[in-house]
Structures are given as C-alpha cells and as structure tokens.
Amino acid sequence: MNFAEWEPVYEAVLADFGFQRAADEAVRDRLAEFAQPFDTARLDVAGEPVVVAGAGPSLESDLDELDEFHRIFAASTAADRCLDCGVGVDCMVTDLDKNPETAKRLSHDGTAVAVHAHGDNRDLVERVVPDLDTRNVLATTQAAPMEAVGNFGGFTDGDRAAFLADHCGVSELQFAGWDLDDDSVDATKRRKLAWAERLLYWLEQRRGERFSVLDGRREGIDTSALPVG
C-alpha cells in the first residue's frame, strides 16, 4: 500500500472518529524506538491462500469447513482460539489491547506479530513491546510509515491482517470468524466494523476478487470515502 493512496482514506477515518493524526504519529514514533527492521519476505505467501481469522463466534466452525489452507493471519484473540484448535498461526495482528501475553509468547516462539501503534495505545506499547522478541515484531502504523514502522493499509486488526496478506502476495483471501453485524459490541466498535467492511470492499476491488465475507452486503456499503469506481 502506497501511503499516498492510503492517506485520503486515513483522513476520512480520522474525521469520522475525531482521532488526531498527531496522536497516531506520537505513538508510532514511540513504537519505532523499540522496533527492529522486519523483512516481510518472512511472510511470503505468493501463490498461497491465506485465512484471515477473526474472533467472531463462528471461528471454530469456519475453520472446520475449510478444506485446505496453508497460512493463517489471525486478528487479536483469534490467535488464541486458532491455537486452541490446533491450528498454527503464521502472523498475529494486534494493537495489544486484549491478549498481550499471547503476543509475547508467540514472538518468543518465533511467530511474526504485527504490532500496531495508534493514538490511544501508547501505554500498551511502552509496557508490552519491551517484553516481546522484537526480532519477530512487525511494527505498523495507520499514519505515515517511518524507519522500521510500516503501513500496509487497514484500520482494525482484522482488515489490517487482510491488507498485510495482500502485501505479502496472497493468491486468495479467505475469512473465518468474521461477524460484521455483532450486536454485542458498543456503538464505537460497530462503527469500526463498518470501516472494516468498507476497507475489505476496497481491497477486493483492488485485487479483483470477491470476498465471501461481503456476500449479500456490497450494495449497502458506504463507499463515499473510498477510491473506488
């Protein structure tokens, strides 16, 4: 993802939530102090499908229904549930807000952990990242990339996992454990899920692919902030 292409969408996200770019940049800079360069070739998935695992209630049954998959990019607590099912995780994507101990354990086991900096997780970055094996940490931001902190597109843990897989050359994106209509979450989370939906729609347009998670939903997606036709 070229930041010049991402930036207008990022600005729309900032405006919608009232977030401050300066706050994102400040935490990005703090994460950069801990980060090491990460070679994304370690996550090369060229020619392979990737399952993007979310933490919705259907995750386990969705995993059972997939005939074959080679790689798993798991968002936040979906990593724990995949591991509990005996399914290995190739990359955990997290802003550290729910299960930092899993991020720590996976990083020390040699699994890639994409750690995201945003304006309101500075305390977590400062408290958790020093305990990770930063050789296995891919530092990310939603602001402009800098030094060892990259921006591959995306906003929530789940859609960032999809954008990261796209960057790494995935042949096909599959989705497990996604619930874009989760009534149990608060209003802010519902708005974040709406953005995840929009961004996945943008990504499938970019890829010329049709994501099953969006079936039956496309006509209702607000695409006004997206660079799509």
Q: List pLDDT tens digits, range 91-139.
A: 999 999 999 999 999 999 999 999 999 999 999 999 999 999 999 999 9
Q: What is the pLDDT of residue 97?
A: 95
Q: What is the pLDDT of residue 67?
A: 67
DSSP state of 97: S
Q: What is the pLDDT of residue 219?
A: 97
Q: Which two tokens stand for residue 222?
A: 């607000």
Q: What is the pLDDT of residue 138?
A: 98
Cross-strand pairs, 170:
46
> Which conformational region is residue 177 in: left (phi greater than 0), alpha (psi within -120 to 50 degrees), or beta?
left
Residues with pLDDT less than 70, the chain: 67-69, 229
Q: What is the pLDDT of residue 38?
A: 98
Which CATH number applies to 3-219? 3.90.1480
| Backbone dihedral angles phi then psi of residue 16, each to the nearest 5 degrees | -65, -40
What span, in angstroms and rounded, lies between the C-alpha atoms of 95 and 115? 6
What span, in angstroms and rounded, lies between the C-alpha atoms of 196 and 160? 9
Q: What is the pLDDT of residue 184?
A: 85
Cross-strand pairs, 174:
51
For the stretch 193-202, pLDDT in tens is 999 999 999 9
At 206, the amino acid letter reads R
